[in-house]
Amino acid sequence: MTLILSVFQAVLIAGFAPAVSWFIKKMKAVSQNRVGPRFFQVYFDLIKLFRKGMVISGTASWVFHAAPYVFFGGTIAAALMLPVIWKGALCGFMGDAILFVYLLALGRFFLVLAALDTGTAFGGMGSSREMFLSSLAEPALLLSFFSIGFHTKTLSLTGMMSVLAADSPHRVIFFVSLAFGAVLILAIAESGRIPVDNPATHLELTMVHEAMVLEYSGRYLALLEWGHQIKQLLFLTLLANLFFPWGIPDTFNAVPIVLSLLLYAGKIAVAAWVIGWIEIHFAKLRLFRVPDFLAVAFVLALLSFLGQLMVGRGA
Amino acid sequence: MSSEWIPSLVHFFGMMLLVASFGIIAAPQIMASVRAYAVHSFLLAVITVLVALAGHVEHLLISAALTVVLKTVVIPRVFSKMIHRLGVRREVESYANVPFLLLISVLLLFVSFYVTSGLRGLEPVFSKEFVSIAIFTVFFGMLVMISVKKAMTQVLGLLLIENGLFLLGITMTFGMPLLVELGISFDVLVAVFIMGIFMLKIRGAFEGIDIDDLTELKG
Amino acid sequence: MGKLVLAQFLFYVLGGLAGFLRRKNPEHSNRIACVSALAAGVSGMFYSAGILLSGKGIALSFRGGVPLCGAVFLEVDALSAFFIFLISFLSVPVSIFALGYNREYFGKKNVPLLGLFYNFFLLSMVLVTMARNIFVFLTAWEIMSLVSYFLVVTEHENPKARRAGLLYFVMTHAGTAFIAGAFWLLFSASGALAFDAFRAHAAMLSPGLKNVVFFCALVGFGTKAGMIPFHIWLPEAHPEAPSPISALMSGAMIKTAIYALLRFIFFFLGPVYFWWGAVLLGFGIFSVLVGILYALMEKDLKRLLAFSSIENIGIILLGIGMGVVLISSRQPIFALFAVAAALYHALNHAAFKGLLFLGAGSVLSGTHTRNIEELGGLIKKMPWTAACFLTGSAAISALPPLNGFVSEWMTLLALFSGVDCEGFGIRFFSVVLASLLGLAGALAATCFVKAFGIAFLGLPRSPRAECAREGSRSMKIGMITLALSCFGLGLAAPVIVPILGKLSGELTTEISGNIPLIHGSFLVFPGGWSQISLPWVFGVMAVSLSVIAAAMTVFAGRVSVKTGPSWDCGMRGLTPRMQYSGTGYSKPIRRIFSFLYQPSRKVEVEDEGYSVLRTAKHFESGIRPLFEETIYRPMAKFALYFSEKAKRIQTGHIQIYLGYIFVTLLALLLFTRVSS
């Protein structure tokens, strides 16, 4: 039974991810007095891309072909480690938060290589910027996990969530509130949102993610876009489930599971709303201001840890 | 409120106080720095209230109210007036970049905690981490004064030091006598006004409030 | 077992000398040298693995003994066996690679001599780890330094190689002076030359003496290991050597310094002090960050790899340093884990850095340039080299499921385990160090994306890259062996880690009981915070990938794939000059870490009367070598100044010199009389 539930979780993350993108797009459209896409449009887009033929650059090598699979596979493997609507995950046992970070790094590694593979200036630009930003974001993410792990005395994602859920809410708020801020900033950075990257632009001055996938088309593009959406949902799920871990059942029972599913949808909607709100109200930062932004995440995570040290663990 | 909540809340606001002080350095514009200072003072007032409730020291409530009125309303107003008069709305200019300053501040926090945790005979009446937070706030105010170029932000640094001392007062001894508190508050207000006038004069002389210009004064 | 040891020695000595028999035929002579090194490597792997598994060391005793050395002066215990395994394991694929690579030197160089040096280099490294006596150790150490110096200046017609060789020679001897000093102090305290005596005497050393010995050993071996700021020879010397030698120097030689450091800290100096660990951690994190940041700025492929070796030595030092800190904070089990992480990283680094240097060698022999700005598009011309180099890059960037990830994970957790210690300082800095290691890991990924992406992907940037050709079969086999071992060392972690745990337990604790480091296929952190299983990760990724691929073909069917040109913004085709260059790729990093690099740029602009139609005629950018300019240049200046002063006592009159000798003699005699 738990197996079915775990598999369902994975399917849920993969299936729900485009909807989150839709939500933010729609929110942005409404704020600009546009109608915005229909709900199913995001899914139709993906399906269409999966069916379309591909044009591959003549310069590209096998790295270009492998990258979408590795990127998607790495993201899915990371998704399988995350508890979503119950306290377990299909592959939560296979590693810890460090593995989660490095699985995402694996996908990124191949994606940036593929961007260099076609020999265009756009690809190089996107690749260089992505690595620049991620090499600052990655230590901050690790530090956030360490800071939470210091409180929970475990680094496994499922373990962290269970410990936090068993704790009383006011202690969770105190101990991890700053880490929450850090992860929020990182969620924005990792999913390529304003103010770090503009997902709606095709202007070379501002592109990061879009510049990397510029040469992709058809099926590969679908895999990359979908993978990117899943990655975005992963970070939102981290925000929702690590920092608001209540109401998630640990055994299989129909009613709590359905309730938890609704709760999850609600939490993700709120998180997506926050991301969308920031996207509407802020301008994209200059590339060399982004390190300042990421430094804030790093410092928040460090403060969260230092605060726990000052008060004493478990006080 | 249950007794279990108060310590957690106090810890929480302590953390937020730190974040607000970091905000003063991380803020992109001077006005945002001023707002961060207002938030800092507001949180200080909240902590004062919590201390007053926990220790049943009613006169602290008056201090808290004074803090709110003076430091979160009046002083930021004065600042925004001054910013408009002087026409400085650009980015906060400092001698080092923001991430570096932030990391230095974290180290300062570490140092202030390390220093206070070794002190013997230190018997705060309230949560012990506030001693180090207060010391940190003083250090941090000095850091702000050392690192930024604009005279405006230097005043903020001075005000931060004052906030730190206030915090130290309420955590070590449930605050100073009300009369002293009142005196200090009005001193601060007067100081801000004087500095405002001073800055106007500096600008009149140098057409800018960049403190580097003062180096021209030496013989 | 003992026979295998002797067999290894014989293979090295005879194989090195036998090459001269076929002096006229370099092909044969090279083959003899490489095959004997290969055979020696295989026998070395066998006996060292046997010792590691059984835990029983062997001592080689010689009847009658040797003057000053006693009967037993060579011994293989578990620690030696681990490093012998490392050296032998790396020497096997490198020897295969050298079979093909050395063809470069046929007719240009003295091939039998190269073979002799090659074999003696390996032999001296093995001897260093076996030596049980000051004399044997220092002799082997000197032979290792000398032979590697000769190998560095193989291409002595190139002034850069000569200069690098000289720098290496000077630095390594300065280091050896410190090592000799450390040994002399130990000798004068214990009155013996044998290592066993040092160990027995360890508890009786005075704290001051221990500190001085530690300092000398750290500087001496740190110089050999390439620890910053004693590293300046490493990025000069490693790239100039022939590539198989670079692989051995980076993969194995600098590890002998780690070996010696471990022996000093844990065997000769007895109970460790907290501050040693703190110093090691400081040097470690400094080497990690500065090493990788300089590597990022390199456009010379082999120099880039050399700088990255500094980073990896830093990671190893972090493991050891944390081990020392944890021992003195009474956390022996975590200390065991930390030192095991360091050992594992040493082994892994041998595998992937060896692989990367071999790949760079293959690129060098295929294109005759090391400058990545002239490369590009090699993946089409050299597919095997590219695949192997990519594997090495992924491994060194600590990506799962390769071996680099396992040791990085272990080191991260070892650092993080500091939060369970007493003391505010350790707890805070252990987490800061862990996150800085994460930063270095991410920067390493950037660095190797740049190295692989600029050199192998895109369009060829020069005719050299266009005319590249794949290396010979033996070169491919050498690289593929190492690439497979990068996978193997990662997936076999549950087998390797208990062995390393046992070894590290001997070093760090007296606990001989079983500390559970694995559970099934899982690596378990002894604090119980986390576990990891790379076979599972590998399996999950493989399954999810095949599910995706299958689902796509089932649900969406096959789609047409056309080949077209890359998007050229509507201009007429892309030229290789439009691609990002390596320097451009790392520009953002250069900018935010400008306080370290202090970059300079020079643009000479020429306009044709219109300021809008500017054509930059000349562009130059560079970074300032901080350590050379701030530490070594003043030192060299001081030395020159001092020599200038010392010149005054050189008059040229023989009577004055005789007078010096006489006065010195008198002074010495008086000194001995007064002091006794």
Encode pLDDT of A71-97 as tens digits: 999 999 999 999 888 887 887 788 889
Q: What is the pLDDT of residue B182?
A: 73
Number of structural domains in chain C: 2
Distances (CA, A) of B53 to A173, B1, B10, B165, C647: 21, 10, 12, 20, 81
- Residue C453 is nearest to which of A62, A96, A113, comparing CB atoms? A113
Q: Which of A120, A143, A219 to mutate to test the interface with C (most CBs of C within 10 A)?
A: A120
Both C541 and C632 in a single domain? no
Best of B2, B6, B8 to substitute, by most chain A Cβ atoms within 10 angstroms, is B8
Q: Of A122-126, C25-29, C34-38, C625-629, which gets the smallest average pLDDT?
A: C625-629
Q: What percent of chain A has pLDDT over 90?
A: 56
Residue C425 in domain: yes
Contacts with A302 from chain B: Cβ below 8 Å: 106
Asked if the Cβ–Cβ distance from A292 to B99 is below 8 Å, we say yes
Lowest average pLDDT, out of A132-146, C383-397, C625-639, goes to: C625-639
Q: How close does chain C come to B29, measured CA to CA in Å? A: 21
Q: Which residue of A has its CA nearest to C427?
A: A309
Cα–Cα dist C259/A149, whole Å = 33
Cα separation, A158 vs A96, in Å, equals 9
Model-level pTM?
A: 0.93
| Ranges A115-119, B114-118, C538-542: which has the least confidence | B114-118
Which residue of chain C is at minimal alpha-carbon distance from A74?
C541
Question: Is C520 in contact with C494 (CB distance < 8 Å)?
Answer: yes
Contacts of A63 in chain C (CB under 8 A): 379, 390, 457
d(CA C254, CA C345): 13
Query: Do A94 and C435 lie within an 8 Å CB cutoff?
Result: no
Q: Is the peptide bond before C401 cis (omega within 30 degrees of 0)?
A: yes
pLDDT in tens, A217-249: 989 999 999 999 999 999 999 999 988 888 888
Residue of A nearest to B15 (CA): A307
CA-nearest residue to A287 within chain C is C588
Residue C33 confidence (pLDDT): 92
Q: What's the one-letter identity of residue C393? A: S
**Residue C306: pLDDT above 70?**
yes
C575 touches chain A (CB under 8 A): no
A43 touching C (Cβ < 8 Å):
no
Q: What residues of B are in contact with residue C426 (Cβ under 8 Å)?
A: none
Strands (E), A59-177: none
Evaluate whether residue C12 is within a structural domain: no
Residues 410-429 of C with CB under 8 A from B: 424-425, 428
Higher pLDDT, C528 or C639: C639
Structural domain for C487, as ranges:
272-550
Contact A116 C441 (CB under 8 A): no
Number of B/C CB contacts below 8 angstroms equals 6
According to the model, what pLDDT value does residue C513 have? Answer: 59
> Does residue C79 lie within any of the structural domains?
no
Range among A307-311, C19-23, C399-403, C568-572 rated most confident: C399-403
Q: Which of B95, B110, B128 to mutate to test the interface with C (most CBs of C within 10 A)?
A: B110
Question: Which residues from chain B sit within 8 angstroms of residue A172, using beta carbons?
Answer: none
* C593-622 residues touching B, CB cutoff 8 A: 595
Instruction: Examine the fold and report which residue of C550, C574, C589 is the final residue of a domain before the chain moves on.
Output: C550
Residues of B with CB under 8 A from a CB of C: 100, 110, 113-114, 117
Establish if B165 touches chain A: CB-CB under 8 angstroms.
no
CB contact under 8 A, C425 and B114: yes
Identify whether residues C365 and C514 lie together within a single domain.
yes
In chain C, pLDDT over 90 holds for what percent of residues?
A: 58
pLDDT tens column, C419-454: 988 888 899 999 999 999 999 999 999 999 999 999
Residue A216 or C2, more confident: A216
- The pLDDT-based confidence of A253 (bands split at 50, 70, 90) is confident
Q: What percent of chain B has pLDDT over 70?
A: 79
Tell whether A84 lies on the interface with C, counting CB pairs under 8 A: no
* Closest-CA residue of chain C to A136: C439
Determine the distance in angstroms separating the CA of C421 from the nearest CA of chain A, rounded to an integer. Answer: 12
Same domain, C516 and C648: no
Q: Given a cut of 90, is residue B41 above it in pLDDT? A: yes
Strand partners, C206: none
Residue C544 one-letter amino acid: S
Any B CB within 8 A of A147 CB: no
Smallest CA–CA separation between A25 and chain C, in Å? 26
A285 in contact with chain B, both atoms CB, cutoff 8 A? no
**pLDDT of residue C373 exceeding 50:** yes
Q: Which domain holds residue B59?
A: 5-217
Closest CA to B136 of B19, B9, B33, B39: B19
pLDDT tops 80 at residue C615: no
C615 by DSSP, 3-state: which? Answer: strand
Band of residue C510 on the pLDDT scale cut at 50, 70, 90: low
What is the mean predicted confidence (pLDDT) over C14-33? 89
Domains in chain B, number: 1
Beta bridge partners of C523: C518, C532
Q: Is B19 in contact with A178 (Cβ distance < 8 A)?
A: yes
Cα Rg of chain A (Å, integer): 19
Q: How many CB pairs under 8 A join A and B?
A: 65
pLDDT tens digit sequence for A258-273: 899 999 999 999 999 9
Distance CA C363, CA A157 (A): 42
Contact residues for A229 (Cβ-Cβ < 8 A; gap 6+): A17, A18, A20, A21
Least confident of A62-76, B126-140, C96-110, C208-222: B126-140
Which pLDDT score is estimated for C300?
A: 93
Average pLDDT over residues B162-173: 85
Band of the pLDDT at B1, cuts 50, 70, 90?
very low
How far does C383 lie from chain B, in Å, by closest CA?
42
Give helix C301-328 / helix C403-416 axis angle, nearest 10°: 40
Q: Do C459 and A119 touch (CB under 8 A)?
A: yes
Contact between B26 and A296 using a beta-carbon 8 Å cutoff: yes
Residue of B80 and C479 predicted with greater confidence: C479
Chain A residues with CB-CB distance to C519 below 8 A: none
Say which residue, C607 or B112, is predicted with more confidence. Answer: B112
Rounded to whole angstroms, the Cα distance separating C311 from C306 reads: 9
pLDDT reported for residue C552: 84
Residues from chain B that touch C436, judged by Cβ atoms under 8 A, are none
Which among A170, A303, A310 is the nearest to B8, CB-wise? A170
Partner chains of B (3+ C-beta pairs under 8 Å): A, C
Domain that holds residue A281: 2-311
Given this model, what pLDDT does residue A315 score? 44
Arithmetic mean of pLDDT over chain C: 90
Highest mean pLDDT: which range of A159-168, B120-129, B146-155: A159-168
Element (H, E) at C553: helix C534-556
The reported pLDDT for the residue numbered B209 is 63
- Chain C residue at shortest CA distance from B114: C424
Say if C434 is an interface residue toward chain A (CB within 8 Å): yes
Measure A24 CA to nearest chain B CA, in Å: 27
Taking the C-alpha atoms of residue C19 and residue C17, their distance in angstroms, rounded to an integer, is 5
Task: For residue C619, list its beta bridge partners.
Answer: C603
| 3-state helix vs strand vs coil in chain C, percent to 5 | 75, 5, 20
**Quick check: C529 and A149 CB within 8 A?**
yes
Nearest to B129 among A178, A300, A310 (CB): A310
Mean pLDDT on C577-592: 89
Chain C within 8 Å of A303 (Cβ-Cβ)? no
Q: Domains in chain A: how many in total?
A: 1
Residue type, A300: L
Q: Which of residues C550, C585, C612 is at a domain's end?
A: C550
Confidence of residue B204 (pLDDT cuts 50, 70, 90): low
Residue in C33, C153, C150, C165 with CA at minimum distance from that of residue C102: C33
Poorest-pLDDT segment among B64-68, B81-85, C109-113, C344-348: B81-85
Inter-chain CB proximity C442 and A51 less than 8 Å: no
Q: What is the pLDDT of residue C524?
A: 87
- Of A168, A178, A292, which has the smallest distance from its Cβ to B15's Cβ? A178
List the beta bridge partners of residue C602.
C620
